[in-house]
Structure 1
């Protein structure tokens, strides 16, 4: 589901060869590691469903030393963007973070992902920082967004 979302969302931002050939294995390795961390009690992942079919997912990492929960990933499958799954997953993430005493949530968005930037900004998330990163063998800029829970 993650590689499918990347292939649709990051086309034109990341190299096609990476999205088509390398991202599925790279995302599988990421999720094997992340699920081991979740099994150890270091966060949670949920799958959003519509009529019993998976349409998206969100992964959260326990609050850090600053009381901030990382939204490690939040994706809706391409055919279900705008169906409300993202908004519902964000609401669940905020409730989960509050239950753990967090003061805020944070996440990273690729600079060219205007749809995600608009989605988060329209829901009260605020730009906090710009970070240079590498994905798919190229340099990219990640934008850090935060959402205050207080």
Structure 2
């Protein structure tokens, strides 16, 4: 894993084991600091990334995360794409409902991650995996 955080140069992490979830957290923290996100925004992004990386592992059977520094022309941000080839999410509206869980947790995973970032996009369907893109902008 490299921590070069040049603009537009994606950093890739394969998510296949618990240690990879930790690697995603560490990379996101490093990139968020370099992009000058506030401590609060760093914490929000790392928390969201941790949850989404864990979901990629547990529900998607593994996959990857791509972390990129982006620039809107007015400010910098961090974009992370989580992708897996797992079973997909059959009922996305239900999965995004606070309190819904299939894993015995608190049910705040997807909905909680969505609240912690500025942009949240999910592309999924039963049988074709899931791709979640999140962006957090520097304030």
* TM-score interval for Structure 1 and Structure 2 normalised by the shorter chain: 0.3 to 0.5
More helix by share: 1
Name the structure with the higher strand share.
Answer: 1
TM-score after normalising by structure 2 = 0.36
The normalised TM-score by structure 1 is: 0.34
RCO (CA 8 Å, sep 6+): is it higher in 1 or 2?
A: 2
Name which one, 1 or 2, has greater alpha-carbon Rg. 1
